[in-house]
Amino acid sequence: MPATAASAPQDNPSPKLIARDVNVYYGTKHALQHVDLVLNSGEVTALIGPSGCGKSTFLRCLNRMNDGIEGCRVEGSITLDGQDIVRGVDPILLRARIGMVFQRPNPFPKSIYDNVAFGPRLHGLVSGKDELDEIVVGSLRRAGLYEEVKDRLDAIGTGLSGGQQQRLCIARAIAVSPEVILMDEPCSALDPIATAVVEELIDELREKYTIIIVTHSMQQAARISQRTAFFHLGKVIETGLTEQIFTNPREKLTQGYITGRFG
Amino acid sequence: MEPHIVKSFDEALNTLHAQVSRMGILAEHQLGLSVQALVDRNDELAAQIVQSDAEIDALEAAANDQVIRVLALRAPVADDLRVVITALKIASTLERIADYAANIAKRSIVLTAMPAVPTVRPLQRLGKLVQGLLADALTAYHEGNTELALQVWTRDKEVDEQYSGLFRELLTYMMEDSRNITPCSHLLFVAKNIERIGDHATNIAEMAYFLATGGAIEGARPKNDTTLIHD
């Protein structure tokens, strides 16, 4: 079983996504309040907090998934490499740069090959079959799935095990060469072994991508992230190095939550 | 601090705390009695002290088991993790302290069989000082009193001063009359044991400080042991 301890944080992190005074309203509900957060490339940032604290809402702001929700309003600024992504950019193009992996593995009811090839085809990233093959195989390899499925790339993706499906979704996400990968509780439907495999994969992917993960598992946040942000009632209460958050948090609220004292 | 949502987690931590508390009371008591046995030349008391050491050993083993259980089953973090780690380290420190007390008791039995030497009073003073520091260190641990922890930490130099004085005094007796060499050698070991207990008391103070703050006491500890300097 691979070791799942996260690598150390970088000494001089470079900011990839910067959120400044982000406010989100669902109708009259003020779901996110004055959120400031910096997400660095080459690092995994874990967003933790009780249900309804706004962590998933924040994640969805990062690739404009709140656009389709009626009555939802996003204010403030979120920049990707300095470019505002709250308004102005095409959400479809944005999502090629910021991929997402969901809680339940959601492969398309297509072959393993077509699942991974879907994004590159949609975005017109390839000029021929050879190039597409290369992307599909490379993505499956990086997702740690290729060896398990190389003899049955034509088999349907939904026929794989839960852990394999989730790694297929990760392969699909990285096939379009995104810069950022968002993960919304990617292991909550997986058993501990499949979870360990995905966690090891996240740690390997970390070097090339900016990874932001929402998780309800404190231990998972501690294992795989370099930085942690704690959300509570729509606000960011504390951000810091994961090691600091889990050994000596500054805020009483953070301490109450991670130690299980929080009502 | 508020209780945990899972009550059995609090119960597990309380059990650990009770084990370490009991060890603290016993270890401090053993130290006081061992010096008493030496001063009073009381073999019966000394034998009792040697026997009681087993209870502290058993408590340490129980505390170790409890720590392993809590780490494995609860995966504690933040202040909970500090509670568990400091309990583990303090339990092991208290076990060592009790060993030193038992060693003093054993030497006391040997010394009682020999003619009395006049140095037992300063030893008694050193014993009282160290017992006081140990009691304060344990209070700092129980109450989360960082001020008291810092006091214990800085006061260890008084122990070193007294120990250095005793060391020179015992050397003088040995030089005066070679018949004093055997009892004074034993007393030298007794003094060293008490001085080591003082060092362990400062370790407990450091743990108490870490438990309360999550950080270490800054700076080097003042030392006044001059017995290592040749002149």
Q: Do B78 and A260 touch (CB under 8 A)?
A: no
What is the chain A residue with the closest CA to B80?
A: A259
| Residue A263 located in a structural domain | no
Smallest CA–CA distance, residue B4 to chain A, in Å, is 4
Q: Do A260 and B4 touch (CB under 8 A)?
A: yes
Q: Which of A56-60, A75-79, B116-120, B212-216 shows the lowest mean pLDDT across its residues?
A: B116-120
| Residue A1 located in a structural domain | no
Query: φ and ψ at A102, to 5 degrees?
Result: -100, 175
Chain B contact for A162 (CB, 8 A cutoff): no
Instruction: Decide: helix, strand or coil at residue B202.
Output: helix
Query: φ and ψ at A181, to 5 degrees?
Result: -120, 125
What is the 3 state secondary structure string of B167-187?
HHHHHHHHHHCHHHHHHHHHH
- Kind and range of the H or E run holding B50: helix B43-74
| Residue A37 located in a structural domain | yes
| Residue A6 located in a structural domain | no
CA separation, residue A166 to residues A102, A193, A204 (Å): 8, 13, 16
Q: What is the pLDDT of residue B150?
A: 95
Under the banding of pLDDT at 50, 70 and 90, the label for residue A79 is: very high
Q: What is the pLDDT of residue A3?
A: 42
Q: What is the pLDDT of residue A67?
A: 85
Going by C-alpha positions, the residue among A256, A238, A263, A247 that lies closest to residue A47 is A238
Question: Are the C-beta atoms of A227 and A40 separated by less than 8 Å?
Answer: yes
Chain B contact for A219 (CB, 8 A cutoff): yes
Smallest CA–CA distance, residue B80 to chain A, in Å, is 7
| Residue A144 located in a structural domain | yes
How far apart, in whole angstroms, are the C-alpha atoms of residue B109 and residue B43? 5
- Sign, CA torsion B212/B215/B218/B223: positive
How far apart, in whole angstroms, are the C-alpha atoms of residue B178 and residue B176? 7
Query: Which residue from A219, A255, A263 is facing B79, i.e. has the nearest CB?
Result: A255
How far apart, in whole angstroms, are the C-alpha atoms of residue B103 and residue B38? 11
Q: What is the pLDDT of residue A99?
A: 94
How far apart, in whole angstroms, are the C-alpha atoms of residue A184 and residue A220? 13
Q: Per residue in B167-221, pLDDT tens?
A: 999 999 999 999 999 999 999 999 999 999 999 999 999 999 999 999 998 765 6
Under the banding of pLDDT at 50, 70 and 90, the label for residue A126 is: confident
Q: Per residue in A157-214, pLDDT tens?
A: 999 999 999 999 999 999 999 999 999 999 988 888 889 988 999 999 999 999 999 9
Chain B contact for A262 (CB, 8 A cutoff): yes
How far apart, in whole angstroms, are the C-alpha atoms of residue B6 and residue A251? 21
| Residue A4 located in a structural domain | no
Q: What is the pLDDT of residue A197?
A: 87
How far apart, in whole angstroms, are the C-alpha atoms of residue A258 and residue A245? 9
Residues of B in contact with A246 (CB under 8 A): 77-78
Q: Strands across the sheet with A83-84, in order?
A: A29-41, A14-26, A72-80, A83-84
How far apart, in whole angstroms, are the C-alpha atoms of residue B227 and residue B164? 6
What proportion of chain B, given as a percentage, has pLDDT over 70? 94
Question: Are the C-beta atoms of B81 and B41 separated by less than 8 Å?
Answer: no
Smallest CA–CA distance, residue A37 to chain B, in Å, is 23
Q: What is the pLDDT of residue B1?
A: 75
Q: What is the pLDDT of residue B222?
A: 67
**Quick check: A151 pLDDT over 70?**
yes
Going by C-alpha positions, the residue among B203, B198, B194 that lies closest to residue B101 is B194
Digitized pLDDT (tens) for each residue of chain B, 231 residues in all? 789 999 999 999 999 999 999 999 999 999 999 999 999 999 999 999 999 999 999 999 999 999 999 999 999 999 999 999 999 999 999 999 999 999 999 999 999 999 888 778 899 999 999 999 999 999 999 999 999 999 999 999 999 999 999 999 999 999 999 999 999 999 999 999 999 999 999 999 999 999 999 999 876 566 667 676 544
How far apart, in whole angstroms, are the C-alpha atoms of residue A60 and residue B118? 81
Domain count, chain A: 1
| Residue A99 located in a structural domain | yes
**Quick check: A2 pLDDT over 70?**
no
What is the chain A residue with the closest CA to B82?
A: A247
| Residue A3 located in a structural domain | no
CATH of the domain at A38: 3.40.50.300
- Domain that residue A57 falls in: 14-258
Q: Best of B71, B77, B84 to disrupt the A interface by mutation (most A CBs within 10 Å)?
A: B77
How far apart, in whole angstroms, are the C-alpha atoms of residue B55 and residue B36? 20
Query: Which residue from B3, B214, B215 is facing A261, i.e. has the nearest CB?
Result: B3
Q: Which domains are seen in chain B, by residue range? A: 7-213 (1.20.58.220)
Smallest CA–CA distance, residue A259 to chain B, in Å, is 6
Q: What is the pLDDT of residue B128?
A: 97
Q: Do B78 and A263 touch (CB under 8 A)?
A: no
Count of CB atoms situated within 10 Å of the CB of B6: 12
